[in-house]
């Protein structure tokens, strides 16, 4: 198992900045950059909208380091924004704030996005979580990405946290995914034969002036353009820190398993992107309560059954990675539901959307 010992991890999360009185999103990032830049340095950055804030963990050697780092960031940031009379919340969408009321962050990058994407960009009032797994070999990144395509819907099932949009129950557990896929170059990536093949693809887009640089590839998973990592981007922002860490541990374990298979001259079966997208749609709709397609059996199977199979699949890498505690936490998500399920339950009690926001605020700092 020596080949999996150096699988470093990192997390990026996008939080909502909340006015605790109105429970609406509120502009804050400019104020934060004036007061908090020296405290948080590169770990906290502006995002597209003034009511969003992005955090990034350190590069961590194992899941326990990542857990300590993420919880420290959440706790410190929560205290900092509270001093200015604000709160933070972690979820894929806000239950009722409208994109028309948001202020764009004053950066050329974001104005450029608005100019290129117009109405589509204006609606991007969404919040995600990105997990980075360190893989120095670029061809290995591509090999792992090809195999991990199958598991993208499974990961999304566990992270759903966006059942509301503009004050309405959407009927989806991850409405963020619906909004995000209005952009081009999103969704499940296609297969590539090598990193050189991927580079040729990027070169075609750049030379045709489709994109100006590789960060404009917004797939659910991609080789990072700067860091030696494979970046997983499919997740809604997890509300509880323990959920975020458990999902990161799962991603690391699945990547480790793919590397172990390769070292044994084995590989996970490659499936059509159109089939994987059918499962992604089911994950978006129903989260952990989905029935996903078992491509081998050619029938639908409860996700909870596939989850048990996935746990058996990664069992031999969990102990070497030191992630038993975090992997075991995933069972709590299966048993009790995701943030999306809790938000729907809170709303159904008395149809008060403020209750949803209050719960999100509490859960975001739970255990931190």
Both tokens of residue 65? 């380091």
**Burial classification of residue 115, based on how many CB atoms lie within 10 Å of its CB (0-12 exposed, 13-18 middle, 19 or more buried):** exposed
% of residues, the chain, pLDDT over 70: 99
- 8-state DSSP, 287: G
Confidence check: pLDDT of 107 > 80: no
- For 328-334, what is the mean pLDDT? 98
Question: Which of residues 31 and 320 earns the better pLDDT score?
Answer: 320
Domain range for 42: 2-364
pLDDT at 285: 98
Phi, psi for 203 (deg, rounded to 5): -60, -40
Task: Say which residue, 83 or 161, is predicted with more confidence.
Answer: 161
pLDDT for the residue numbered 49: 82
Pairing relationship of beta strands 52-56 and 9-18 according to DSSP bridges: antiparallel
pLDDT band at 1 (very low <50, low <70, confident <90, very high): low
Closest CA to 188 of 272, 288, 287: 272
Would you say residue 289 has pLDDT above 70? yes
Beta bridge partners of 230: 133, 223
Which pLDDT band holds residue 38 (cuts at 50, 70, 90)?
low
From CA 99, how far away is CA 126, in angstroms rounded? 9
For residue 60, what is the domain's CATH number? Answer: 3.30.590.20
Tell me: pLDDT of 6 over 90.
Answer: no
Hey, which of 31-40, 120-129, 246-255, 291-300 has the most confident mean pLDDT? 246-255
Of 307, 289, 164, 332, which Cα lies nearest the Cα of 236?
Answer: 164
Query: Which band of pLDDT confidence, cut at 50, 70 and 90, is reported for residue 148?
Result: very high
* Plot region of 104 (φ>0 → left; ψ -120 to 50 → alpha; else → beta): beta
pLDDT at 173: 98
Q: Is the pLDDT of residue 355 over 90?
A: yes
Find, among 149, 314, 155, 142, the residue nearest to 230 by Cα. 142
Residue of 19, 160, 25 lying closest to 86 (CA atoms): 19
Of 23-32, 150-159, 303-312, 337-346, the range with the lowest mean pLDDT is 23-32
Domain count, the chain: 1
* Residues 6 or more apart whose Cβ sits within 8 Å of residue 256: 4, 7, 314, 317, 320, 321
CA distance 261 to 67: 27
Q: What is the pLDDT of residues 123-134, one digit of tens each?
A: 889 999 999 999
Provide the pLDDT for residue 239: 98
Confidence of residue 236 (pLDDT cuts 50, 70, 90): very high
Q: Give pLDDT, residue 106.
A: 72
Least confident of 106-110, 118-122, 284-288: 106-110
Look at the block and give the residue holding tokens 């038993």.
Answer: 324
Distance CA 248, CA 142 (A): 19
Distances (CA, A) of 217 to 221, 223, 224, 306, 363: 9, 10, 10, 30, 32
Whether the CB-CB separation of 155 and 232 falls below 8 Å is answered with yes
- Residue 47's pLDDT band (cuts 50, 70, 90): confident
The neighbouring-strand residues paired with 13 are 55, 129
pLDDT tens digits for range 189-220? 999 999 999 999 999 999 999 998 898 999 99
Chain mean pLDDT for the chain:
93
Among candidates 227, 79, 210, 228, which has minimal Cα distance to 139?
228
């Amino acid at each position: 198992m020596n080949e999996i010992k150096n699988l470093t991890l990192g997390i990026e999360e996008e939080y909502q900045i909340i006015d605790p009185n109105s429970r609406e999103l509120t502009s804050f990032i400019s104020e934060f950059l004036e007061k908090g830049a020296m405290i948080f340095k590169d770990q906290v950055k502006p995002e597209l909208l003034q009511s969003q804030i992005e955090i990034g963990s350190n590069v961590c050697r194992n899941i326990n380091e990542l857990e300590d780092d993420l919880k420290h960031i959440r706790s410190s940031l929560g205290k900092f924004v509270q001093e200015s009379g604000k709160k933070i919340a972690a979820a894929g969408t806000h239950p009722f704030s409208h994109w028309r009321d948001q202020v764009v962050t004053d950066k050329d990058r974001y104005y450029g996005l608005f100019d290129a994407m117009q109405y589509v960009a204006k609606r991007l009032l969404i919040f995600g979580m990105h997990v980075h797994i360190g893989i120095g070999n670029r061809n290995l990144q591509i090999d792992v990405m090809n195999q991990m395509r199958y598991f993208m819907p499974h990961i999304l099932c566990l992270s759903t946290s966006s059942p509301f949009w503009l004050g309405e129950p959407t009927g989806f557990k991850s409405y963020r995914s619906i909004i995000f896929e209005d952009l081009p170059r999103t969704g499940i990536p296609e297969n590539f034969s090598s990193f050189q093949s991927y580079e040729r693809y990027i070169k075609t887009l750049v030379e045709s002036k489709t994109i100006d640089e590789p960060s404009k590839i917004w797939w659910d998973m991609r080789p990072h353009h700067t860091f030696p990592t494979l970046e997983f981007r499919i997740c809604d922002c997890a509300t509880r820190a323990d959920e975020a860490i458990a999902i990161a541990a799962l991603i690391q374990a699945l990547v480790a398993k793919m590397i172990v298979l390769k070292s044994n001259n084995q590989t996970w079966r490659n499936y059509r992107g159109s089939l994987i997208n059918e499962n992604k749609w089911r994950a978006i709709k129903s989260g952990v309560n989905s029935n996903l397609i078992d491509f081998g059996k050619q029938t639908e199977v409860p996700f909870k059954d596939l989850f048990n199979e996935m746990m058996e699949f990664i069992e031999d890498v969990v102990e070497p990675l030191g992630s038993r505690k975090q992997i075991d936490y995933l069972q709590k998500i299966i048993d009790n539901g995701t943030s999306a399920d809790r938000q729907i339950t809170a709303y159904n009690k008395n149809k008060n959307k403020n209750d949803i926001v209050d719960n999100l605020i509490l859960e975001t700092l739970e255990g931190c």
